[in-house]
Structure formats: structure tokens, C-alpha cells
Amino acid sequence: MMLVLSRRDVLELLPLSDCIAAVERAFRLHAEQQTFGPGVLGVSAGAGSVHVKVAGLRGERSYVAAKVNANFPDNPRRHGLPTIQGTVMLADAETGRPLAVMESASVTALRTGAATAVAAKFLARRDARTATIVGCGAQGETQLAALAAVLPLQRAWVLDSDHARAEAFAARAATDLAWRLSARTIAESKSSSRRWSRRRRSWWMSSSSAPRSASCSTRSRRACSRVKACTPSSATS
């Protein structure tokens, strides 16, 4: 019998901590050549794009998963719909029999945050206490929660081009994590980064009109995870 899992089902059945452990195991299996794929395809569609990603794991029982995501950035403003919508199908890799179909936006958010957590677990300083999140959308919240799951963080900077959104993000995260969070706009962060870089050339921050990353040099021993939306050009590259 094939399972059909809604967003609520996914979030109830897959805690972030379990997702981090699963992603770490998948990375190890990939390094051990126990995976196949991935295969990717992306196409433009109207005001957005659709991309397909397929990959699988080998083992005592092998699995293959295919994710189809639609990315329509204007959906929230124009239609009151999420930017990301789609499904993930999990199948038996020996027979192709579908085992489950699930809502993909929740899986995408959890998996992306989990990948950052695994990287931070092995690459960040063990005594890291401060995180910086550039971009205060849904993925930013997952990224911060994932970092908090693997590092002894005590405070965070959150930055966005929309100051109100950054403030709301900081308020929610401060309640959930019991931390001190400081919200800033991108313009403020650019000014601060210029002043800081004049004093300490080892630190720098890159941003654009749609910021996606905070980057730091290895000399300063800061870890960086860059996360961006998938577009047809990036999906096929």
C-alpha cells in the first residue's frame, strides 16, 4: 500500500534531528559509492520554474526518490500560495513500486537545513557561539534551527532587505531558542561590514538585492553555508 503524506505528516514524522542524522548517513553512503544519481532537470514555466531531481541509495533494500518542485516566487503576493510546491515519490529501486508520495516543500526545507548542520558539525569551530543568517524567509528559520541543533550557539544576527521581516524572524527565533537575536537590514549590514573589513580584513560579507549568502575567509576560522533557490539554469548545471 502506498503512503500519502501531507506537510503536517512530514513535519510530525521527521524531526529535524532525525533528518540531520539521515542526511549525514546519506553523505557517507555517497562517499562509499552506495548511491546512484543524481539526475536533474529544470524548465521555465510561466512566472516560475519546475525542476526534477532523482537519486537513490543502495543497501539490503534499495530505494529511489524523485522530487518534483515548482518554484514560483510571486505566488505569495499574487495568489496567496507558497513559493515552493511539489511532491516527492519514494519507490523500491529493485521493482520500481511506489512506496510513498509526500509533500515536498517541508522535505526540501528540512533536508537543506540538515545539510548545513552536517557541514557545520564537521567544519565549524566547536566553540562557535554566534550565527549569522542572511535572508529571513522560511529557509532561514530552518537553517538557524539546524545550526542550533549541532552547535552551542548563544546568539544570532539575522539580516534581510525587509527590516520588518527580520524583526519578526528574530522575535520568533528568540522565543523558540531563548537566545539573543539582533535584526538588521541589508543596507545596515553593508555599512557595518565595510567598517569591520577596514579593521579586520579577514571578515567579509557578500550580498545582493536578493541576498543568499554570508561568507567568511578561512583565515578567520569562520564556517559558511551558501544556500540558494533552484532555477532551471542551476538545476541543470
Residues belonging to the active site: 67
Partners of 159 in the β-ladder: 134, 184
Give the C-alpha separation, 70 to 47, whole Å: 10
What SS3 class is residue 185? strand
Give the C-alpha separation, 135 to 144, whole Å: 11
Partners of 51 in the β-ladder: 42, 69
**What spatial distance separates the first Cα and last Cα of the chain, rounded to whole Å?**
36
Note whether 80 and 61 are within 8 A (CB): no
Which grid coordinates belong to 228?
540558494
Note whether 159 and 184 are within 8 A (CB): yes
